[in-house]
């Protein structure tokens, strides 16, 4: 697989990474541990070098899973994890106090079976802690050799600037896809100006853009999507026109909807690295195949024209989870 560098950080990763949350958390029943480990090791064999986790995924179990799966190839992969929630539980609120950042980092190192974290993100901005203090704490962890690079997630442009002035931000992770393009307004220009890489999560719209979900789909009670306004049945029904249009493009370029959605992201900026997640080997191979799909200028223009009149229905988060997004 091709590689990309996240901004000016020098951090080089596979052009498509693997979002690992779903292997432990959020999307219904998690796979058996042995099957999850097999998938992670298959990803390595297929050329993926960039793996994304967080203490909140489980909580804690996802980091432990990656630690076991990637231990044999630790020096060949880049592991990103995150701090920022109280006791690792998102619904309990944010916590980016310096003492918590240090404690979370030490605990993550043990679970990941490693002596350094390649990319440590603040999972969500904590309004009670100055971002300069957060960046300064991570700077200390970098000096101590426990962390290599600092990242942020779902942060606003001004907060990114303040943090970057204290400790260079290697990458911002936020949602971005053909059905959520809000980062184009202010975030992407800011990242380009500062030389910060971008890691789009949910690049396939939490599975919606693949065409596998429609108004009749039912979600397991443990599936996070059952709580999201954008995944209410009426929103799914209204938004299916987007999937249909992507399908038309996919037929034209002889690819799948997922591959078109990922290739579109790769075409936006050379410092952009999407991290689709999956629990299935067939989907993993399909997603990785997008790295070999080059959309022409005409293809990209056709996508813009085809989707221009579509207004996606439904908020992406319920109000309680929207509070610390974009601060």
Domain ranges of the chain: 3-205+269-293
**Does residue 169 contact residue 200 with C-beta atoms inside 8 Å?**
no
Q: Where would I find the H helices in 27-128?
A: 33-45, 61-70, 98-111
Q: Which residues are catalytic?
A: 57
Mean pLDDT, 10 residues at a time, over the chain (327 residues)? 97 98 91 98 98 97 98 98 96 96 98 98 97 98 98 98 98 97 97 98 96 91 91 93 95 97 98 98 98 96 94 87 71
* Nearest by Cα to 273 from 125, 139, 170: 170
**What pLDDT, on a 0 to 100 scale, did the predictor assign at position 151?**
98
CA 319, distance to chain mean position in Å, is 21
**What pLDDT, on a 0 to 100 scale, did the predictor assign at position 322?**
66
**What pLDDT, on a 0 to 100 scale, did the predictor assign at position 205?**
96
Q: Where would I find the H helices in 46-74?
A: 61-70
> b/e string for 40-75 if b means 16 or more Cβ within 10 A?
beebbebebbbbbbbbbbbbbbbbbbbbebbeeeee
**What pLDDT, on a 0 to 100 scale, did the predictor assign at position 317?**
85
pTM score = 0.96
Separation between Cα atoms, residue 136 and residue 134, nearest integer Å = 5
* Nearest by Cα to 166 from 192, 129, 200: 129
* Nearest by Cα to 276 from 5, 11, 34, 39: 39
**What pLDDT, on a 0 to 100 scale, did the predictor assign at position 157?**
98
Q: Which CATH number fits domain 3-205+269-293: 3.40.50.1700, 3.20.20.100, 3.40.50.970, 3.30.1490.20?
A: 3.20.20.100
Q: CA 192, 194, 157, 78 torsion: positive or negative?
A: positive
């Amino acid at each position: 697989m091709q590689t990309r560098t996240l901004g000016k950080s020098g951090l080089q990763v596979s052009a498509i990474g693997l979002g690992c949350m779903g292997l432990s958390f959020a999307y219904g029943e998690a796979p058996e541990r042995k099957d999850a480990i097999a998938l992670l090791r298959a990803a390595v064999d297929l050329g993926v070098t960039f793996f994304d986790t967080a203490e909140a995924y489980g909580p804690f179990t996802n980091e432990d899973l990656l630690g076991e799966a990637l231990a044999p190839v630790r020096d060949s992969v880049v592991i990103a994890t995150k701090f920022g929630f109280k006791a690792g539980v998102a619904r309990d609120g944010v916590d980016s106090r310096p003492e918590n950042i240090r404690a979370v980092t030490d605990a993550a190192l043990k679970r990941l079976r490693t002596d350094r974290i390649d990319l440590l993100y603040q999972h969500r901005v904590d309004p009670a802690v100055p971002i300069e203090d957060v960046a300064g704490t991570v700077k200390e962890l970098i000096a101590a050799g426990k962390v290599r690079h600092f990242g942020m997630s779902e942060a606003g442009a001004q907060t990114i600037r303040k943090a970057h002035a204290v400790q260079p931000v290697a990458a911002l992770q936020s949602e971005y896809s053909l059905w959520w393009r809000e980062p184009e307004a202010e975030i992407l220009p800011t990242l380009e100006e500062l030389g910060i890489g971008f890691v789009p999560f949910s690049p396939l719209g939490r599975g919606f853009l693949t065409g596998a979900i429609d108004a009749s789909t039912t979600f397991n009670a443990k599936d996070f999507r059952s709580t999201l306004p954008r995944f209410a049945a009426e929103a799914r029904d209204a938004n299916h026109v987007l999937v249909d249009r992507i399908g038309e493009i996919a037929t034209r370029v002889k690819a799948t909807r997922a591959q078109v959605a990922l290739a579109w992201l790769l075409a936006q900026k050379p410092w952009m690295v999407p991290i689709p997640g999956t629990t299935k080997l067939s989907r993993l191979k399909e997603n990785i195949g997008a790295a070999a799909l080059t959309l022409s200028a005409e293809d990209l223009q056709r996508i813009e024209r085809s989707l221009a009149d579509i207004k996606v229905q439904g908020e992406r988060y319920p109000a309680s989870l929207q509070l610390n997004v974009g601060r």
